[in-house]
């Protein structure tokens, strides 16, 4: 019983949020996560491993960059997931602020470290790619700087959600920061078009055909899809742990009250 | 293969960071499940 009392808001959810609130029941969420998680993890590992093997050993080297182009197969998926992860953080924050969905708070808290990790991968592999190509590990280029700002936004969210005695205040402050930080996403995306940058423009767009050799495109798409599944699996696993930890706190509080 | 000094650390970072997250998540889930089972058993008694 405490499981439900702890997790579900005492006020009835708004009409539009009732579908979402079906998953506010931690027991239901844990059962669903337990069933989905092994599949999501296995698919992610399989896709990423195939993409990495293809990218490292089958795909051709670039005529200008040589084998350094193979860094692309880890750098680009990490960059996409850094932005996509932040978008999911902002969505969870919006759901938390508007509908007070109890799992949305926890989801935001658990997405932020994983997003920061993938942003770190993007920045580090970008530096390692930049050194042989540009002659420098780092330049204060618009794309690099805006991704660094994204990394700081993630760190800010992690720090802010843990900075208050009351977790609810931390969740609310973090949610506001996450929503304000969304403004950085179009800046990252269009920085290579708006300013003169060392970073190359996008090779894959939704509006046109990719400007990349198909033998390089497929392993890139495979690693990106695999990394997306791995990202989702990590967040699901962390969220399951967070739901159980919340339940433990509730049980301990109930026990202390009874004693 | 050229540029191995940059390629190897890139792939190492891309594998190690998610692996650390996975390890941490697994450890948290395992600890929480055990603690929860102990607390639930205590409540039932």
DSSP letters for A216-246: HHHHHHHHHHHHHHHHHHHHHHHHHHHHHHH
pLDDT of residue A130: 94
* Whether residue A10 has pLDDT greater than 50: no
Residue A7 lies in a domain: no
Residue A1 lies in a domain: no
Residue A41 confidence class, pLDDT cut points 50, 70, 90: very high
User: Residue A100 in contact with residue B39, Cβ under 8 Å?
Assistant: no
Percent of chain B with pLDDT over 90: 73
Residue A139 lies in a domain: yes
Distance from CA of B34 to the nearest CA of A (A): 10
Residue A17 lies in a domain: no
pLDDT of residue A2: 34
Q: Going residue by residue through chain B, which has 45 residues, state the pLDDT in tens, using 9 for 90 and above.
A: 788 999 999 999 999 999 999 999 999 999 999 999 998 887 766
pLDDT digits (tens, 9 = 90+) for A52-89: 999 999 999 888 889 999 999 999 999 999 999 999 99
pLDDT digits (tens, 9 = 90+) for A168-193: 899 999 999 999 999 999 999 998 88
pLDDT digits (tens, 9 = 90+) for A89-101: 999 999 999 988 8
Residue A114 lies in a domain: yes
Q: Based on the number of CB atoms within 10 Å of its own CB, is B31 exposed (0-12), middle (13-18) or buried (19 or more)?
A: middle
Check CB contact under 8 Å for B29 and A56: no
Interface of A with B in 48-107 (CB under 8 A): 52, 56, 61, 66-68, 70-71, 74-75, 78
Residue A66 lies in a domain: yes
* Whether residue A112 has pLDDT greater than 80: yes
Please give the average per-residue pLDDT across A30-47, as a whole number: 95
CA pair distance B33, A170, nearest whole angstrom: 25
Q: Mark out the alpha helices in B1-45 (DSSP H runs).
A: 4-44
Write out the DSSP string of A13-51: PPGGGHHHHGGGSHHHHHHHHHHHHHHHHHHHHHHHHHH
A18, A99, A231 from A11: Cα distances, Å = 12, 11, 33
Reference A243, options B41, B18, B17, B35; nearest CA is B35
pLDDT digits (tens, 9 = 90+) for A115-142: 999 999 999 999 999 999 999 999 999 9
Residue A7 confidence class, pLDDT cut points 50, 70, 90: very low
From the candidates B13, B33, B35, B38, which should be mutated to test the interface with A, based on the most A CB atoms within 10 A? B13
Domain count, chain A: 1
Rounded to the nearest integer, the mean pLDDT of chain A is 88
Residue A215 lies in a domain: no
pLDDT digits (tens, 9 = 90+) for A19-29: 556 556 778 88
Residue A13 lies in a domain: no
Range of the domain at A102: 26-203+220-258
pLDDT of residue A115: 98
């Amino acid at each position: 019983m405490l499981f439900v009392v702890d997790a579900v808001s005492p006020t009835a959810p708004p009409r539009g949020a009732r579908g979402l609130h079906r998953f506010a029941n931690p027991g239901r969420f844990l059962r669903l996560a337990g069933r989905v998680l092994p599949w999501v993890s296995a698919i992610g590992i399989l896709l990423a491993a195939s993409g990495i093997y293809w990218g490292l050993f089958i795909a051709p080297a670039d005529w200008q960059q040589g084998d350094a182009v193979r860094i692309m197969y880890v750098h680009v998926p990490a960059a996409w997931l850094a932005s996509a992860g932040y978008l999911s953080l902002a969505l969870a924050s919006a759901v938390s602020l508007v509908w007070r969905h109890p799992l949305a708070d926890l989801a935001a808290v658990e997405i932020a470290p994983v997003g920061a990790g993938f942003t770190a991968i993007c920045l580090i592999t970008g530096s390692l790619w930049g050194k042989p190509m540009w002659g420098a590990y780092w330049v204060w280029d618009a794309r690099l700087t805006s991704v660094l700002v994204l990394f700081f936004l993630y760190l800010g969210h992690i720090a802010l959600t843990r900075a208050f005695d009351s977790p609810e205040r931390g969740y609310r402050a973090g949610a506001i920061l996450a929503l304000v930080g969304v403004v950085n996403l179009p800046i990252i995306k269009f920085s290579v078009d708006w300013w003169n940058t060392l970073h190359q423009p996008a090779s894959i767009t939704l509006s046109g055909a990719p400007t990349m050799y198909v033998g390089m495109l497929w392993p890139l798409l495979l690693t990106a899809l695999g990394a997306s599944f791995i990202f989702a699996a990590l967040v699901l696993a962390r969220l399951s742990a967070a739901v159980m930890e919340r339940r433990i706190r509730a049980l301990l509080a109930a026990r202390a009250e009874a004693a | 293969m050229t540029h191995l000094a940059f390629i190897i650390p890139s792939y190492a970072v891309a594998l190690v960071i998610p692996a650390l997250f996975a390890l941490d998540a697994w450890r948290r889930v395992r600890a929480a499940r055990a603690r929860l089972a102990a607390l639930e058993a205590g409540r039932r008694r």
